[in-house]
Amino acid sequence: MIDLQANGGSPVLDEAARELQAAQHDARVAFDCIALGEFDRAHTHALTARVAVDAAVTALAAALAEAGQAASR
C-alpha cells in the first residue's frame, strides 16, 4: 500500500485515505473472487468495500465541516 499523509497532517483526511485504500483492496479481492467463481466471498468483499467508501465519505464530510468552521472564524 501507498503511505499517504494528508497535507497539513489532518487526522480526518488520513482516515479518509486509509478507508479508500481499504475499499480499493476489497474491490480487487471481490473482482478476483468473481473470476474464481467464489461468489459468496465476492459479495462479502464488495459489501466491505462499500462500507469503507461510506466511511471515507463520512470522514471527508467531517473534514469539510471542520474547514468551514475554521474559515468562518
Summarised one tens digit per residue, pLDDT across range 39-56 is: 999 999 999 999 999 999
**Residue 69: pLDDT band by 50, 70, 90 thresholds?**
confident
**Residue 22: pLDDT band by 50, 70, 90 thresholds?**
very high
Q: Which of 68, 54, 52, 63 is nearest to 10 (CA)?
A: 63
What is the C-alpha separation between 46 and 26, in angstroms, rounded? 6
Asked if pLDDT for residue 2 goes beyond 60, the answer is no
List the grid coordinates of 63: 473534514
Contact 4, 12 (CB under 8 A): no
What is the C-alpha separation between 4 and 18, in angstroms, rounded? 8
The residue whose grid cell reads 481499504 is 22
Q: Give the rounded percent of residues in the chain with a pLDDT score beyond 70.
A: 88
